[in-house]
Amino acid sequence: MKLSWSHKLFLKINSNIGKSRFFDALMYFCAIFLIYILGLTVLGWGAFVLFDKSPDQFALLIKLLFTAHLFGFGISYVVAILWKHPRPIARFPDIKRMFKAVDTWKSFPSDHTMISYLLTFVAIMVGIPLWFGIVLVILSFIIGSARVYCGVHYPRDILGGVVWAGIIALASPWLLENITQPIYNLVKAFF
């Protein structure tokens, strides 16, 4: 069986499971729970710092996050349906994995990575301080890496999630202005 660079790197990273209980526990935590801390951090910054400076900027942050995630997930699932890439366990049944993912049919792009980087990129676009943006990028990188370490994603899935998040984040102001906001205004007019 011919292996791609992503498969080879995945197998090399995955072979480290079980060598350090501490590192395994850390990666497990990062793969599952760090995304919630990242999301609460961005929303907390928006609510407690950005809102005080400019309620309009806070509203923009929320609208951009909603728009980016809506379109990010929607198109991510269309890509997954059209371009099937199952999780590593489907191809390599003997791999080590630290937890069972919800499904095995969708691996590319990684939703956790996409969400992490969407939160990060949108926060940067709205004006989060540079040092804070760098911290968020590092946390997002750790989340994606932990998903590979724990055996639920290939490295290409993570790369796809980062690229997809970048494209959607850059497009989100246009999507908000031309699609999401008009729909919101229409719904608001009826209620």
Q: Could you list the pLDDT tens digit for every one of the 191 residues in the chain? A: 688 999 999 999 999 999 999 999 999 999 999 999 999 999 999 999 999 999 999 999 999 999 999 999 999 999 989 988 888 888 888 888 878 777 777 889 999 999 999 999 999 999 999 999 999 999 999 999 999 999 999 999 999 999 999 999 999 999 999 999 999 999 989 88
What distance separates the 2 farthest-apart alpha carbons in the chain?
Answer: 59
User: Structure tokens of 102?
Assistant: 């919800």
131 contacts 175 by C-beta, under 8 angstroms: no
Rounded Cα distance, 155 and 45, in Å: 30
Rounded Cα distance, 25 and 29, in Å: 6
**What is the tens place of the pLDDT at every residue in 56-106?**
999 999 999 999 999 999 999 999 899 888 888 888 888 888 787 777 778
**pTM to 2 decimal places:** 0.92
Those residues whose C-beta lies under 8 Å from the C-beta of residue 113, and which sit 6 or more positions away, are 140, 143, 144, 147, 153, 157, 158, 160, 161, 162, 165
